[in-house]
Amino acid sequence: MTLGGLSYIDLVIYILLGIAFIGVIIAVRKILRSKQDLATSEFRRSELTQGEERIFEFLHHLGLSINENNTHQNLYKVIVEGVCKVTKAEGGALYLYNADTESFTPAHLSAECAQLVADPDGDSDPDQELLCRYQVNKHDGVLGHVLDTNAALYIDDLRGHATLSDQLVKYSGKGSAMLSPLNHAGEQIGVLAVTHQGQSKSFTKNDLGVFSIMAEQSSFAIGNFEAHDQAAEKRRLEKELENAQEVQRVLIPVKAPEVSGFNFYGYNLAAKMVSGDYFDYTTVSANTTGVVIADVSGKGMPAGLIMATFRSALRAIAKGAKSPSESLSELNRMIFKDVREDMFISAIYTHLDHKSGKVKIARAGHNPAYYWDSKKEELSKIKSPGLAVGIDEGSVFDSILKDHEVKMKSGDKVFLYTDGIIEANNSEKVEYSAERLEAELKENAHLSARALGKRILASIDYFVEDAPQSDDITLVVIERE
């Protein structure tokens, strides 16, 4: 049987051959497609490998910048240049945020970075050096928007983005950008950005993902660098304080001088490593000893340095002086220029006559001294007039300062102290007070100078209990044998 001159057998053979031919075409196409997919896969794999290598190189440079304790500026440069390299961006910028002023300051801008902030002079083509110095208000433009949303942002066309619509930022080309907030330990650090200025290049969603990861690592690097920097600064300051404390320990008398007819007890306890309080004994003449107690307004290193100056100057002028007021007047003129405007020194300086027992006292704006009259069993305050050292250059200081003289008898005592004693607080913020001090002095006035001083200190310890010490504590007890 035939069909169109072809037998059924021939027709079946032709159909089978056609099917086979179609199968071959499909197979070839699959092979070609597989080869194409393989090539594409290899290309993508190569791209991913290169991208990973660039990211690892970026992280390596970040680590070096932290470990080598480099400068902040170099770290910012490494971050911007590294992120630009990985994302193949034409330019980049890192803006730091100041929460106190609610403003951004450019930490590093690359030369080819597209303009992201308004020029303060309204120039559509601003100078890059000017933009590197210009602070930006948080509420103006895209930087604040990124910080407020706390999310990475991709801008495909900088010319028409809503956050830049009211800014004096103009572009001749399309321009695109990726921006990300920088946060570390709950603190807002700033904003990182990469840009393209022209239309020929743009970023992809994959670029945005990589950029976000790098921004997170950059935040971590900046935070760690800051912590590393602060730790190094803290170690340096602690070393300086230890050195200053050691120097001051030498300046404070370890033991009282041996003076015929008098006993002394002095004590100083710093609230910080370096004390702004001070006491000392000076040699005025063969028969006269000087005793001084002083307090610099403030605590810590600055107060300690001023006090060291005070001590050196007083020791230099003490010998041969006729009175304590004369010495304090000369001292004030000597160190007035060295005392900062926001600082002053209160002091009491006494001259003790070994033979007669007469004591001259000059008070330069300090707490009044207490005098115990053993015969009358009376406690009184010595309130001689005077101005603190360092407030006036000389004329007013000299006119106000006066000496007060008492003649100490056997058993009499003079008690000098700084306000760290009466202002010592307990856990309920209650002060030790002058009233408590006076009560302790009256009750224990029969004790020796040393025993009385220790009793006052024990009374303060008992009162404050575990409350932290808020001010330096210093006292001197002078006893007439």
Read off the pLDDT band of 90 (50, 70, 90): very high
Q: Write the CATH number for 283.
A: 3.60.40.10
Are 328 and 364 members of one domain? yes
Are 73 and 56 members of one domain? no
Rounded mean pLDDT, 379-398: 94
Choose between 168 and 254: higher pLDDT: 254
> Looking at residue 57, what is its pLDDT?
62
- Tens of pLDDT, residues 193-235: 999 987 678 888 788 888 988 898 889 888 888 877 777 777 8
Are 182 and 310 members of one domain? no
3-state secondary structure of 355: coil
Query: Which of 247, 339, 239 has the alpha carbon at shortest distance from 294?
Result: 339
Mean of the per-residue pLDDT values of the chain: 82
Rounded mean pLDDT, 308-327: 93
- Tens of pLDDT, residues 113-167: 888 887 655 555 555 555 556 778 888 788 999 999 999 999 988 877 777 655 5
Question: Looking at the domain assignment, is residue 314 inside a domain?
Answer: yes
Residue 59 domain boundaries: 2-65
Question: Looking at the domain assignment, is residue 244 inside a domain?
Answer: no
Choose between 303 and 429: higher pLDDT: 429
Cβ proximity of 32 and 187 under 8 Å: no
Are 226 and 116 members of one domain? yes
* Sequence letter at residue 6: L
Read off the pLDDT band of 342 (50, 70, 90): confident
**What are phi and psi for residue 143, nearest 5 degrees?**
-65, -50
Which of the listed residues 199, 231, 263 is the one where a domain comes to its end? 231
Residue 101 gets which letter from DSSP?
A: T
Question: Looking at the domain assignment, is residue 240 inside a domain?
Answer: no
Rounded mean pLDDT, 384-405: 94
Are 111 and 54 members of one domain? no
> Looking at residue 71, what is its pLDDT?
83
**What are phi and psi for residue 431, nearest 5 degrees?**
-80, 150
Residue 10 has pLDDT above 70, yes or no: no
Are 123 and 31 members of one domain? no
Report the C-alpha gap between 345 and 348 in whole angstroms: 10
| Percentage of the chain modeled with pLDDT above 70 | 76
Which of the listed residues 65, 89, 114 is the one where a domain comes to its end? 65
Are 160 and 266 members of one domain? no
Residue 427 has pLDDT above 50, yes or no: yes
Read off the pLDDT band of 61 (50, 70, 90): low
> Looking at residue 197, what is its pLDDT?
83
> Looking at residue 386, what is its pLDDT?
95
Please state the domain count of the chain: 3
Question: Looking at the domain assignment, is residue 237 inside a domain?
Answer: no
Read off the pLDDT band of 12 (50, 70, 90): very low
| Percentage of the chain modeled with pLDDT above 90 | 49
Which of the listed residues 65, 81, 113 is the one where a domain comes to its end? 65
Question: Looking at the domain assignment, is residue 246 inside a domain?
Answer: no
Residue 21 has pLDDT above 50, yes or no: no
Are 29 and 84 members of one domain? no
Cβ proximity of 257 and 282 under 8 Å: no
Residue 442 has pLDDT above 70, yes or no: yes
Are 189 and 280 members of one domain? no
Read off the pLDDT band of 307 (50, 70, 90): confident
Residue 29 has pLDDT above 80, yes or no: no
Choose between 291 and 228: higher pLDDT: 291
Are 58 and 74 members of one domain? no
Listed in sequence order, the residues at least 6 apart from 456 whose beta carbon sits closer than 8 Å to its beta carbon are: 421, 437, 440, 441, 444, 475
Cβ proximity of 175 and 198 under 8 Å: yes
Q: Write the CATH number for 174.
A: 3.30.450.40
> Looking at residue 340, what is its pLDDT?
82
Are 263 and 227 members of one domain? no
Are 90 and 61 members of one domain? no
Report the C-alpha gap between 293 and 291 in whole angstroms: 7
Question: Looking at the domain assignment, is residue 437 inside a domain?
Answer: yes
Query: Which of 231, 312, 243, 230 has the alpha carbon at shortest distance from 273?
Result: 243
